[in-house]
Amino acid sequence: MSKLRVLFLCVHNSARSQLAEALLRHMAGDHFEVYSAGSEPTQVNPYARRVLQAEGVDTRGLYSKNVADLVDQPFDYVITLCAEEVCPYWAGTAVRLHWGMPDPSAVQGDSTEKLEAFRQTSRLLKQQLAAFLETIHSPAMRGKV
């Protein structure tokens, strides 16, 4: 059985999509090929790395990528994470899901408040990812992807 290919998209590919990429890779192991990208990539937010590392999630290999560099690749699922901004467009044939959530890097305040925003986003993503994995592995979905 081939691995399912999942792409997470947001604007800067620095926080939400990076968290989602690393968390799904951690939660699903070798069953998925996981990517993330953005329409205006910058760099991985240090708070994202910090939260992931505190949860025992490998952050090696995480870097911001441009969605334009992935347009020729096939994906089974493309999941957009933008809430208050316009998410990158994906023209491929993948199943599209939208999990809009606020950008933790937009939170103003001291480092404790910023870190908590990233922790909250990580918690939300873990819930969404667990539900996603449950759906993918349900008897009704077997053989459909």
Q: Write out pLDDT tens, residues 58-98.
A: 999 999 999 999 989 999 999 999 987 777 778 777 899 99
Of the candidates 6, 7, 9, 10, the residue annotated as catalytic is 10
User: What CATH number does residue 43 fall under?
Assistant: 3.40.50.2300
Of the candidates 22, 44, 78, 87, the residue annotated as catalytic is 87
Is 129 labeled as catalytic in the residue annotation?
no
Confidence class of residue 1 from pLDDT cuts 50, 70 and 90? low
**Does residue 80 contact residue 87 with C-beta atoms inside 8 Å?**
yes
- CA distances (Å), 73 to each of 21, 37, 95, 108, 111, in order? 16, 12, 14, 36, 38
Query: Is 143 among the domain residues?
Result: no
- Give the total number of structural domains in the chain: 1
Beta strands in the chain (DSSP E): 4-10, 32-38, 77-80, 95-98
Question: Is the pLDDT higher at 121 or at 29?
Answer: 121
Tokens describing residue 101: 């959530």
Query: Is 70 among the domain residues?
Result: yes
pTM score of the predicted model: 0.91
Domain that holds residue 16: 4-136
Query: Is 116 among the domain residues?
Result: yes
Is 87 labeled as catalytic in the residue annotation?
yes
Segment 103-122 mean pLDDT = 96
Is 33 labeled as catalytic in the residue annotation?
no
Query: Is 12 among the domain residues?
Result: yes
Query: Is 145 among the domain residues?
Result: no
